[in-house]
Amino acid sequence: DQQVKQNSPSLSVQEGRISILNCDYTNSMFDYFLWYKKYPAEGPTFLISISSIKDKNEDGRFTVFLNKSAKHLSLHIVPSQPGDSAVYFCAANAYSGAGSYQLTFGKGTKLSVIP
Amino acid sequence: EPEVTQTPSHQVTQMGQEVILRCVPISNHLYFYWYRQILGQKVEFLVSFYNNEISEKSEIFDDQFSVERPDGSNFTLKIRSTKLEDSAMYFCASGAGFNEQFFGPGTRLTVL
């Protein structure tokens, strides 16, 4: 039951170019989407998020785009830097009405930025 | 910058033994979570905790699991009788609301 799908397990990009990481979801109840970055042996680090009422959110080099009709979101990193090399997780949440905002994660995309 | 901390970083235990994983969430947060990631798989939700009680739990979180916030700062996950398949990274997370969850570095649990 993959409600959040990241279909590319890996991506390689040259330093200075744009990295585009994609995520699809199936649950129309999701109303908030988050991207996390994870280095080996560390916990996920929050990067950027977007509410379902928006279609774009930007924070420095990171921009997240949401296409609700396609149930698709993407994370753009411009320009990509070698330190961006990590596994990127897309996550979504739907308020359950019980004081809980559990996140449903995708499987992750490993980004390698080549100097 | 405040952060979520977890101890121990690595726990090795024998099958059938009890383990307690500890977390110190960010101090002004109200929502607390446990997730796990089995090697090579995705991060999975276990349980959420709000207002001193469990607010939601997944089907993974069966009777062998329990959570506590014993003293207003720590947040613990107990596994009563560990199984081989409980081997995973366990992540604690906390948040002030729905639009943020900050994760700790994780505890690697190895069940032999």
Percent of chain B with pLDDT over 90: 76
Mean pLDDT of A18-43: 93
Q: Is the pLDDT of residue A63 over 80?
A: yes
Mean pLDDT of A88-94: 92
Tens-digit pLDDT profile for residues B1-42? 789 999 999 999 999 999 999 999 999 898 999 999 998 888
- The angle formed by the CA atoms of residues B5, A88 and B83, to the nearest 5 degrees, is 55
Q: How confident is the model at residue A96 (pLDDT cuts 50, 70, 90)?
A: low
How much is the pLDDT for B1?
A: 77
Burial of B33 (0-12, 13-18, 19+ CB in 10 A): buried
Identify residue B45 by its one-letter amino acid code: F
Q: Which residue has the higher pLDDT, B2 or A60?
A: A60
DSSP A96: -
- Return the number of CB contacts < 8 Å for A and B: 70
Instruction: Tell which phi-psi region holds residue B40, choosing left (phi > 0), alpha (psi between -120 and 50) or beta.
Output: left
CB–CB of A34/B101 below 8 Å?
Answer: yes
**Alpha helices (H) in A1-115, listed in sequence order:** none
Identify residue B31 by its one-letter amino acid code: Y
Q: Is the pLDDT of residue A5 over 80?
A: yes
Q: Is the pLDDT of residue A1 over 70?
A: no
Q: Which residue has the higher pLDDT, B71 or A73?
A: A73
SS3 state of residue B34: strand
Which residues from B are below 8 Å from A when comparing CB atoms? 4, 6, 31, 33, 35, 41-45, 48, 50-51, 55-56, 58, 91, 93, 95, 97-106
Spatial distance between the Cα atoms of B83 and B35, rounded to a whole number of angstroms: 17
Q: Is the pLDDT of residue A45 over 80?
A: yes
Spatial distance between the Cα atoms of A90 and B22, rounded to a whole number of angstroms: 26
Q: Is the pLDDT of residue A4 over 90?
A: yes
Percent of chain A with pLDDT over 90: 83
Q: Give the best residue of B43, B55, B110 to mutate against chain A (max A CB count within 10 A).
A: B43
Token pair in block for residue A61: 């080099």
CB–CB of B100/A48 below 8 Å?
Answer: no
Q: Which residue has the higher pLDDT, B97 or B21?
A: B21
Taking CB atoms and an 8 Å cutoff, what residues of chain A touch B99? 32, 49, 51
